[in-house]
Amino acid sequence: MMKKLDILYEDKEYIIVNKPAKMLTIRTEKEKENTLYHEVSTYVKKKYPKNKVFIVNRLDKDTSGIVVFAKNEVCKKFLQDHWNEITTRKYMAIVEGVMKGKNILKHYVKESKTLQMLVTDKEHGKLAITEYKSLKWNKSYSLLEIQIHTGRKHQIRLQLSTTGHPIVGDKKYGSNKNPLGRMALHAYYLKINLPKKEIICESPLPKEMQKMFPKIEKSEK
C-alpha cells in the first residue's frame, strides 16, 4: 500500500497524482485494493463520503508518473473525448544502448490475440506517433525525453523497441536487462488546456532512474 498519496494538483473537478512503479492504476481480478484508483477514491471519500472518482488516463503497472482522475462524469467525459487535442504528455525513458539525436516515430499498430501490440499496415492498424530526443547517454544506456501525439496502448514501448533500443526492464518488448527491478518509463509532464484554465503538472524523475547516469560521457540539449 502507498504510505501517502502523492497529489500533484487538486481542485473541485480534478485530482492529479503521481503513481509509483509496481502499482496498478485500476483493479483486476487478482488485485482489487492495492491500486491507485482505490487510494484516490479513499482519499476523496474521507472528505466527501458521497463523492466518486473517475479514471481519465492509465499507466502500465511498471510505469510511474502522472495519472488524472475526475471528480464527476462530465469532466471525465470531456477530458477523454478531447484528450489528444488539449493535452501535452511527456515521458522519460531509459533505453538499452547508445541512442543519440531526435526523431518522430510513426507506425500503424494493432493488438495481437496475446494482448501484445504489433506493428502492422494502415489497413489493419491505428496510427501511433511518438517523438523523442536523447538527453544523456553512456556506454550502455540512453535517457530519452518523449512526447506522445496519440494514445495507443504500449505505443512508447513498442515503437522504441522497433528502433532496436527497448526500454530497460521491458521484457515484453525485447529488453534483456533490468538493473532497476522495474521498467524505466516515467510520465513526468502533463499540460491540460481547459476552456477556462490551464493545468500543468510535473513529476521528478524517480531516484532509481536518476542513478542510472552517475557519470555522463556526453549530453545533448
Active site amino acids? 60
Query: Dihedral angle at the C-alpha atoms of 182, 177, 186, 90, nearest 10 degrees?
Result: -160
Report the SS3 class of residue 47. helix
User: What are the C-alpha distances in Å from 183 to residues 37, 53, 192, 199?
Assistant: 21, 27, 26, 27
- Fill in the amino acid letter for 186: H
CB 141 within 8 A of CB 96: yes
Report the SS3 class of residue 187. strand
